[in-house]
Structure 1
Amino acid sequence: MGRRFNRVLARLRKDFQLCIITLMGFFGVLGITPYAVYRLSQGNYPVGIADTVIVLSTIAAMSYAWRTGDTRKAGLWLVAVDSLCATLIAVKLGVNGLFWIYPLILLNFFMVVPLIALLATGAVLSVLVTYATLVPGSVFDSHYQMLSFLVTAMVAGIMSFIFAQRAAYQRRQLQSWATRDALTGARNRRIMDQELKIAVANKRRHGISSAVLVIDMDHFKQVNDRFGHPMGDQVLIKFVELTNRCFRHEDRLFRFGGEEFLLLLSNTNEKGLRAAALQLQAQIAQHLKTPDGPVTVSMGGAVLYADESWRDWLERADQQLYEAKRAGRNRIHIDIYPTVEMA
């Protein structure tokens, strides 16, 4: 029991959107359930049923998010159902139902991206104002009351939109700082370990082959010593830009040492790995230079085995890099599958 609770807490700490769906869903169910029971007991079935639909949909969305990890679909579902039901409640209850529109606006901006939340909020307000105009006295007691509600709801929506946009930007910035190398923009060692674990899981579950290429710049210390660290930094930055241009969007480049990088190639076999290494070697020879001449790199590669851990996989590639260095640098060494692996 204690372990399960700790796993739940760890997952909530790690997944911000899952935490938001869980907390808002929990308090939403806690707050709306009494209203659903009361209205059904009083015979107000349309509103009571709408409340019940909100409660059940919230529970279903929370369950789906926890089971699949897909918080995007869960959020979209909640926004769609809650917006529809809250609009119905406001139409049926009039002014008393309008109070639920304000928490709905906040919910929308917590559940989905700001633009979709703004569109959903605009749709709800448009429906309410249109209905109130066509059926006077059904929702608002006067035009002044309708105008006051519309203005305050729009202000709440716009302010929520601005806040959500800023929060999303800052979250992206924090994620970038946590996963990217500050100098080159390549992914860092922390995210590299996670990506290698994912590749291992994909191999075991779906048979998707992946390969790694460990890359080390030859005599890089001499570049720093002769031309200064700014020149060395420019070489590293240029190398990352060059590598990103050469490979597919789904391939990943990581910096995990001073001048050492790892390239993770998805859906790649030994032949593809060798071709990728040769392509990169040719591009570097052509485009990566210092005042002293072309920069060269040594590379060691390995394709993931079926039942191999990510650490063993990385160690094999690292061993091939060592062999490439020992063979004279500017070399490519690829670990060959043993016969039993090829069978």
Structure 2
Amino acid sequence: MHNLWMRLKDDFQLSIITLVGLCALIGISPYIVYRLLEGSLLVGIVDAFMVGSTALAVLYAWRTGNTLRPGQFLAIVYSAGACLVTIKLGVNGLFWFYTLILFNFFVVPPLQSAMATLSALFIICIYGYLNPDVVFESHYQMTSFFVTSLIASFFAAVFAYRGRRQREQLIELAALDPLTRVGNRRAMDTELDIAFAEHHRDETRYGLLVLDLDRFKDVNDRYGHKAGDQILIDFTRIIRENCRQSDRFFRMGGEEFVLLLPKLSREGLETAANQLRSRVAEQLKSPGGSVTVSIGGSMLNHHSSVEAWMHEADLCLYQAKDAGRNKHVICPLSDIESHHQSTPKQARRH
């Protein structure tokens, strides 16, 4: 139960889909019985189809984590259902259209929700215009319904768009380092867990590089933190310019960074580390001259955990620092289980 609650808290779209499912079950199910007892067989069948479709969509969203497709499916089902119910029940069916507006704009992207909602609105109004007194009592009533639906759709679209943008910004802030705009420690932990799972499931090869700027504290102490921040920004740019689009770059903290490289061999990891170290030495400058980087690396192999993998790369970084800095050390594949005792991490910095 705790895991279910956490998923609902962390995934807004999933929570909306689930809430819609509960509302459909509680709000529409009684109408199925009422319509059938009343003799409105078609409307009862439509209501039952909507409830069943909602249940399937919610189940799909929970099982796959994909909320976009269920939302699109339900937007189509509900829009078609609103049209059929309105055509069959007349003015009494129009009240459900405002619920449809809210659902569409909060579950699917703005353009798609606008297309589904406006399509349903035009179908209802065209049918009402061609069949006087079936849906609307007068053209004035139809015009009022059309205008109020457009206004409601406009406000729903504005609020849904703003809410979607704010959620995207919050997600971005939660996953990015504010200074360098690369992934932060939280994003790194997530990506490393994914890589570890993919490796053990599909044997996808992953390499890991831990990069630490040499004597960075001296730069901060001598030239100030503003100069230090600029070095970190420039360093990030250099790394991004010299790695693949599929590589993921993170700032672990301070002047220490992590680069995750998928689908390459140990030789490829060695080449990447050497190239990055050389580019940094050539291009990264401080007010006092060049700034270098030390790099430790490890291929994901038979490690027992992400922490063991990271620990091994960190040990290699210590060796690079101990060898005189501006070096890179990649752990040999045969040494994966050989370094389980390490010098404390704080002892090797700078």
Q: TM-score range by the shorter chain?
A: over 0.9
1:85-124 deviations in Å (ceiling 9; x for gaps): 1111111111111101101111112211222112211111
Q: What root-mean-square deviation, in Å, do the aligned CA atoms of Structure 1 and Structure 2 show?
A: 1.6
Would you identify which runs of 4 or more consecutive aligned residues in structure 1 move more than 4 Å? Answer: none
In the TM superposition, residue 241 of structure 1 has moved relative to its aligned partner by: 2.1
Instruction: State yes or no: 1:305 paired with 2:301.
Output: yes
Which residue, 94, 97, 112 being the options, matches 2:90?
Answer: 94
Matches within 5 A, 1:1-343: 5-338=1-334
In the alignment, the residues of structure 1 paired with residue 122 and residue 82 of structure 2 have an alpha-carbon distance, to the nearest angstrom, of 13
SS of the aligned residue for 1:100 comes to helix
Greater Cα shift, 298-307 or 47-56 = 298-307
Match for residue 345 of structure 2? none
Contact 1:33/1:51, CA 8 A, preserved across alignment:
yes
1:2-59 deviations in Å (ceiling 9; x for gaps): xxx2221122122221111111211122100111121122221221111111000000
Q: Which amino acid aligns with 2:190?
A: Q
In the superposition, the TM-score normalised over structure 1's length comes to 0.94
In the alignment, the residues of structure 1 paired with residue 313 and residue 331 of structure 2 have an alpha-carbon distance, to the nearest angstrom, of 7
In the superposition, the TM-score normalised over structure 2's length comes to 0.92
In the TM superposition, residue 307 of structure 1 has moved relative to its aligned partner by: 5.0
Count of residues in Structure 1 that have an aligned counterpart in Structure 2: 337
SS of the aligned residue for 1:250 comes to coil
SS of the aligned residue for 1:256 comes to strand
SS of the aligned residue for 1:47 comes to helix
In the alignment, the residues of structure 2 paired with residue 310 and residue 340 of structure 1 have an alpha-carbon distance, to the nearest angstrom, of 13
SS of the aligned residue for 2:211 comes to strand
SS of the aligned residue for 1:181 comes to coil
Contact 2:303/2:309, CA 8 A, preserved across alignment:
no
Contact 2:302/2:336, CA 8 A, preserved across alignment:
no
In the TM superposition, residue 134 of structure 1 has moved relative to its aligned partner by: 2.6
In the TM superposition, residue 321 of structure 1 has moved relative to its aligned partner by: 0.4
In the alignment, the residues of structure 1 paired with residue 241 and residue 159 of structure 2 have an alpha-carbon distance, to the nearest angstrom, of 35
Q: Which amino acid aligns with 1:145?
A: Q
